[in-house]
């Protein structure tokens, strides 16, 4: 392996709806580390779990990475010198290497049935023993093994873990980690259907694809000694390992779709910006050396150090992400933000009851963009996601069908009288409304509120008089039914 070149990877499994936000977090660190060292970041699809395979998942994973801006030099969609990049297309390789391990005495054929393994585990559980294979088939002679294969008995190939000694590896984030060999299971390497388990596939592929650094979640720490043994048995130099802490919900529970959206596509559909998502993920277990909260991936490339990554499980707080997304929205230029809003709203799938902006913005024409541009100054400070544009500004495009509370006729009538006769600018409208309210013996704030509810349908929203200027006198008076 050419260890002088930094090569990192992620190896997602196409078993879900999309790219998990935790995998996006890991992908970001792998990508930034590779770029910061002038190396390559690649994607390998680990699709050997056929029972959980989801059609279309691979494509959605690749699309989400592209949307986030995490680009790869090699992968199933772009090819590369170590193709193929799908494990299901590399089965002969795994079989070859598994049989090599058997020949060297570092692996063995196991013919135990599912029923026997189930009973074994139940007995271990009853006796408070760790659930590990009892090595029964390791004692089989070569002749017994050959006869069983000849008779067509189903088998798997298991790792032959030494009974004594300690396996140690160095973690760039956590330091040296050791495991007693007697506590390491004789892991299945090749399943009876000819597909590898994660452990064989990942070691063979990482070696053949010349991966120099494996940066992955801490859930794989307990598997790493098995991988180290495989590297030793094959006579290969192991890569550098770094295990990232797992993301947690605010209540410290493991990140799961029961409590928060977990797919990148969910956040895209809710109107989050890819730059904000990456920025937030970057702050999960690592802090910018200058104490910055808002920074680009390019800045991260300049200063990332794996050794500065914390081991404490970081909290993924959607509200904090919303705040950061709002900061990015405020930093975005008007022209770019108009483009983002109109694209977001017009690209949503039409429902049976389309949103109030759908009919106006689906065409995405110049007139609509000009309208969005006029409205932006009134709502930019309030927006935290692109999706909030509709709730904040929808009344500009369609009259409200519902009101947060019943309209009060008296103050509404006073406001209508004031607006009918005044010039259509902020100062003139404000003066006229205050004057009519005083004449009627009412508080001006009550008149303003009634006008807001009648025009927007809501009690809270963008500045009222500036909104009326954009809406126009004719449309405003129509909404007041005057």
CB 29 within 8 A of CB 283: no
d(CA 313, CA 335): 39
Tell which wins on pLDDT, 336 or 363: 336
Enter the tokens of residue 72. 């790869």
Q: Can you name the CATH fold of 90-244?
A: Rossmann fold (3.40.50)
Which residues is 9 bridged to in the sheet? 42
The whole-number pLDDT of residue 34 equals 98
Q: Is the pLDDT of residue 356 over 70?
A: no
d(CA 409, CA 415): 10
φ and ψ at residue 347, rounded to 5 degrees: -90, -10
The whole-number pLDDT of residue 1 equals 39
Which residues is 178 bridged to in the sheet? 168
Tell me how far CA of residue 419 lies from CA of 130, 438, 439, 477, in angstroms: 79, 15, 15, 8
Closest CA to 481 of 434, 385, 417: 417
Q: Is the pLDDT of residue 204 over 80?
A: yes
Mean pLDDT of 29-38: 98
The whole-number pLDDT of residue 259 equals 73
d(CA 161, CA 169): 16
Q: Is the pLDDT of residue 349 over 80?
A: no
CB-based burial label for 169 (10 Å; 0-12, 13-18, 19+): middle
CB 68 within 8 A of CB 264: yes
The whole-number pLDDT of residue 366 equals 76
d(CA 252, CA 259): 11
Enter the tokens of residue 200. 């064989």
d(CA 54, CA 56): 6
The whole-number pLDDT of residue 141 equals 96
The whole-number pLDDT of residue 37 equals 97
CATH of domain 409-479: 1.10.10.350
Q: Say whether the peptide bond before residue 84 is cis (omega within 30 degrees of 0).
A: yes
State the average pLDDT for the chain: 93
Angle at 363 between CA 360 and CA 366, to 5 degrees: 90
The whole-number pLDDT of residue 51 equals 87
Q: How confident is the model at residue 352 (pLDDT cuts 50, 70, 90)?
A: very low
Tell me how far CA of residue 451 lies from CA of 93, 377, 459, in angstroms: 73, 21, 10
Mean pLDDT of 106-126: 96
Positive/negative CA dihedral, 450, 452, 455, 457: negative
- The set of residues, in sequence order, having a beta carbon less than 8 Å from that of 449 and lying 6+ positions away, is 411, 459
53-73 as b/e: b if 16+ CB within 10 A: eeeebbebbbbbbeebebebe
Q: How confident is the model at residue 260 (pLDDT cuts 50, 70, 90)?
A: confident
The whole-number pLDDT of residue 482 equals 53
φ and ψ at residue 331, rounded to 5 degrees: -85, -10
Angle between helices 274-282 and 318-331 in degrees, nearest 10: 130
Q: Is 42 helix (H, G, I), strand (E, B) or coil?
A: strand
pLDDT digits (tens, 9 = 90+) for 418-453: 999 999 999 999 999 999 999 999 999 999 999 999
DSSP assigned state of 247:
P
Residue of 254, 257, 439, 445 marked catalytic: 257
The whole-number pLDDT of residue 357 equals 52
Enter the tokens of residue 409. 């006729």
The whole-number pLDDT of residue 361 equals 54
Residue 257 falls in the annotated catalytic set: yes
Q: Say whether the peptide bond before residue 204 is cis (omega within 30 degrees of 0).
A: no
Mean pLDDT of 278-295: 96
CB-based burial label for 391 (10 Å; 0-12, 13-18, 19+): middle
d(CA 335, CA 199): 50
CB-based burial label for 341 (10 Å; 0-12, 13-18, 19+): buried
Q: How confident is the model at residue 17 (pLDDT cuts 50, 70, 90)?
A: confident
The whole-number pLDDT of residue 397 equals 87
Mean pLDDT of 392-412: 92
pLDDT digits (tens, 9 = 90+) for 43-97: 999 998 888 999 999 999 999 999 999 999 999 999 999 999 999 999 999 999 9
* 7-76+247-308 and 90-244 have identical folds: yes
d(CA 469, CA 424): 6
CATH of domain 7-76+247-308: 3.40.50.620
d(CA 109, CA 480): 82
Domain boundaries, the chain: 7-76+247-308, 90-244, 332-396, 409-479
Enter the tokens of residue 358. 């759908």
Q: How confident is the model at residue 218 (pLDDT cuts 50, 70, 90)?
A: very high
Closest CA to 462 of 390, 379, 365, 388: 379
Q: Is the pLDDT of residue 140 over 50?
A: yes
d(CA 458, CA 449): 9
d(CA 397, CA 212): 55
Proportion of the chain above pLDDT 70, given as a percent? 95
């Amino acid at each position: 392996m050419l260890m002088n070149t930094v090569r990192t990877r992620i190896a997602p499994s196409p078993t879900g709806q999309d790219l998990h936000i935790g995998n996006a977090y890991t992908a970001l660190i792998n990508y930034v580390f590779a770029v910061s060292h002038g190396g390559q970041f690649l994607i390998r699809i680990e699709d050997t779990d056929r029972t959980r395979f989801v059609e279309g998942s691979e494509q959605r994973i690749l699309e989400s990475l592209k949307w986030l801006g995490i680009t790869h030099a090699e992968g199933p969609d772009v090819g590369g010198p170590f193709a193929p990049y799908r494990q299901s297309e590399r089965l002969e390789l795994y079989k070859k290497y598994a049989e090599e391990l058997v020949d060297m005495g570092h692996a063995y054929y196991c013919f135990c049935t599912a029923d026997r393994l189930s009973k074994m585990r139940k007995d271990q559980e009853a006796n408070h023993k760790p659930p590990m294979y009892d090595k029964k088939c390791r004692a089989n002679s070569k002749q017994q093994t050959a006869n069983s294969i000849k008779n067509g008995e189903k088998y798997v190939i298991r790792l032959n873990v030494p009974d004594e000694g300690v396996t140690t590896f160095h973690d760039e984030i956590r330091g040296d980690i050791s495991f007693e060999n007697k506590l390491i299971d004789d892991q299945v390497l090749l399943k009876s259907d000819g597909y590898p388990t994660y452990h064989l596939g990942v070691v063979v592929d990482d070696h053949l694809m010349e991966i120099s650094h494996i940066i992955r979640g801490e859930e794989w720490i307990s598997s790493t000694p098995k991988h180290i043994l495989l590297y030793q048995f094959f006579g290969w130099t192991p890569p550098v390992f770094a295990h990232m802490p797992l993301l947690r919900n605010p209540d410290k529970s493991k990140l799961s779709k029961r409590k928060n959206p977990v797919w990148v596509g969910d956040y895209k559909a809710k109107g989050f910006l890819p730059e904000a998502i990456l920025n937030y993920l970057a702050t999960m277990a690592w802090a910018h050396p200058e104490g910055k909260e808002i920074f680009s991936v390019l800045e991260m490339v300049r200063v990332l150090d794996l050794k500065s990554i914390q081991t404490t499980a970081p909290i993924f707080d959607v509200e904090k992400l919303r705040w950061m997304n709002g900061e990015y929205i405020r930093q975005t230029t008007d022209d770019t933000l108009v483009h983002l809003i109109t694209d977001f709203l017009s690209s949503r799938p039409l429902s049976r009851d389309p949103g109030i902006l759908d009919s106006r913005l689906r065409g995405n024409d110049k007139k609509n963009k000009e309208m969005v541009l006029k409205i932006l100054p009134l709502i930019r400070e309030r927006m935290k996601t692109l999706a909030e544009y509709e709730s904040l500004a929808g009344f500009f495009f369609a009259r409200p069908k519902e009101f947060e509370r019943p309209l009060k006729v008296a103050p509404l009538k006073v406001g209508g009288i004031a607006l009918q006769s005044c010039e259509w600018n902020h100062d003139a409208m404000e003066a006229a409304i205050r004057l009519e309210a005083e004449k009627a013996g009412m508080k001006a704030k009550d008149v303003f509120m009634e006008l807001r509810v009648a025009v927007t349908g809501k009690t809270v929203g963008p500045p009222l008089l500036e909104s009326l200027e954009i809406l126009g006198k004719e449309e405003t008076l129509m909404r007041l039914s005057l």
